[in-house]
Amino acid sequence: MTYLQIEDLEIAYGKNTILRDVTLSCFKPGTITGILGPNGVGKSSFLRTLAGLAPYRGSIQYDETENRTLGHGERARKVSYLPQTLPQGTNLVAYESVISACRAVRPDLPRHIVETMTEAVFDRLNIRHLAFQPMNSMSGGQRQMIGLAQIIVRKPDVMLLDEPTSALDLRWQLGVLDVVRNLVDEQNGIALIALHDINLAMRHCDQIVLFGENSVLSHGVPEHAMSPDMLSRAYHVKGRIETCSQGTHFVIVDGLTNKATPEPITNR
């Protein structure tokens, strides 16, 4: 079980402050949090910072230990980060790449245990058919699944997943989110998932954190954190939150808030 607490977090690249005043204590064990917001708002920077890959001001605590004081190995056992970019298309076969990912974090484990863990992950993700295929002969979606396998084989308490479904068709998107849900339940862990698909987040996340320009616009259970006002403020679109026949909340977007085209995606 792991707790994550964030207080007065500020993330900057040089003089360019991306996020400030981020205080969040909502990441309870056993929950999935969707990290949402428009392009360039700082979702990846936020996850990279939580993964210990970027400097920050303020406080990020895992179980009351400050992130910047955690050793590399200690953090790697607790926290796994899946970047937005797909794993490289090397000539390594998928099975070996997942074994290597596990051994990088758990060099203490004997090879046969790592192999058993790796096989269990291929079964869990339903990708056994990819096990002996070289990474450089895989499609983008297949590589994304192997990237996820490299993360979950480590059984992390905290999963930081940056758009893990961006290259996947509907069936695999749902499969991945189901696997994340099962892992979070089993480990009583935490998952933070950056997503552009708001409805995927509404359906599969226990809560969302919506970033707007430079800070958190709203957070909470999806049907409260997402509203027509938030859609307008974050994305500059006119939208509605509806409830389907099965009781799930979802967003319908009717158009841009005005006739203007969206602002260009620029460095702030």
Q: For residue 217, state whether it binds ligand ATP (rule: CB under 6 A).
A: no
Which residue, 114 or 216, is less far from ligand ATP as judged by CB? 216
Q: For residue 212, state whether it binds ligand ATP (rule: CB under 6 A).
A: no
Residue 45 token pair: 């920077």
Q: What is the largest CA-CA distance in the chain?
A: 61
By rule CB under 6 A, what count of residues binds ligand ATP?
Answer: 12
Q: For residue 13, state whether it binds ligand ATP (rule: CB under 6 A).
A: yes
Least distance (Å) between residue 42 CB and ligand ATP? 4
Contact region with ligand ATP (CB under 6 A), list: 40-48, 55-63, 110-118, 179-187? 40-48
Binding residue for ligand ATP (CB under 6 A) from 34, 42, 147, 239?
42
CA distance 167 to 22: 29
Residue 64's φ and ψ, nearest 5 degrees, are: 70, 10
Neighbours of 187 (CB within 10 A): 19
Binding residue for ligand ATP (CB under 6 A) from 23, 25, 39, 88?
39
| Residue ranges in 108-169 assigned as alpha helix (H) | 111-124, 140-152
202 secondary structure, DSSP code: H
Which residue, 45 or 173, is less far from ligand ATP as judged by CB? 45
Which residue, 240 or 268, is less far from ligand ATP as judged by CB? 268
Least distance (Å) between residue 119 CB and ligand ATP? 33
- One-letter amino acid at 16 equals N
Q: For residue 18, state whether it binds ligand ATP (rule: CB under 6 A).
A: yes
Which residue, 29 or 40, is less far from ligand ATP as judged by CB? 40
Residue 223 token pair: 């049907």
Which residue, 57 or 268, is less far from ligand ATP as judged by CB? 268
Q: For residue 144, state whether it binds ligand ATP (rule: CB under 6 A).
A: no
Element (H, E) at 96: helix 94-105
CB 149 within 8 A of CB 126: no
Q: For residue 44, state whether it binds ligand ATP (rule: CB under 6 A).
A: yes
Q: For residue 175, state whether it binds ligand ATP (rule: CB under 6 A).
A: no
Q: CA torsion sign, 150 to 152 to 157 to 161?
A: positive
CA distance 86 to 150: 12
CB 225 within 8 A of CB 207: yes
Q: For residue 45, state whether it binds ligand ATP (rule: CB under 6 A).
A: yes
Residues near ligand ATP, by CB under 6 A: 13, 18, 37, 39-45, 267-268
